[in-house]
Copies of this chain bind each other. A is one copy, B any other.
């Protein structure tokens, strides 16, 4: 599985906040209810988005989360990169992988490089704005 639930949830949060775009901050509790994801688990995911400055959080009454940029400025690739340790389809292409001693004469390496390219190109070509169809803010 290339994308874990963390990544899926993160993307859903971003689209959720984009669709219900308001100047106000949206509390975790509300996002959790709308998306049907446990508050506590969602919290750990949103933390990543805040750390990367994709969202800004505000504490206290009237607090919550909101996007820091317009939706078309977030690519799906950027979001998933935060939640997944690596988006590489195979271990040998993972950034934190030890260099493979066979790489210079590995006949299968080109397939993985090509696959990696195809995945990155595709995910980089889709933005959060592309996913907010109706624009309706559903409960």
Contact = CB atoms under 8 A, between A and B. Distances in A.
Interface stretch (A5-13, A41-49, A55-63): A5-13
A27 interface: no
- The number of times this chain is found in the oligomer is 2
Q: Is the interface of A mostly helix, strand, loop or mixed?
A: helix
A3 B8 CA distance: 19
Interface string A65-103: 000000000001000000000101111101000000010
Interface of A: 1-3, 5, 8, 11-12, 15, 19, 36, 76, 86, 88-92, 94, 102, 105-108, 110-112, 114-115, 118-119, 122-123, 126, 131-133, 138
9 contacts: A1-B86, A1-B91, A3-B90, A8-B112, A12-B108, A36-B102, A76-B111, A89-B119, A115-B122
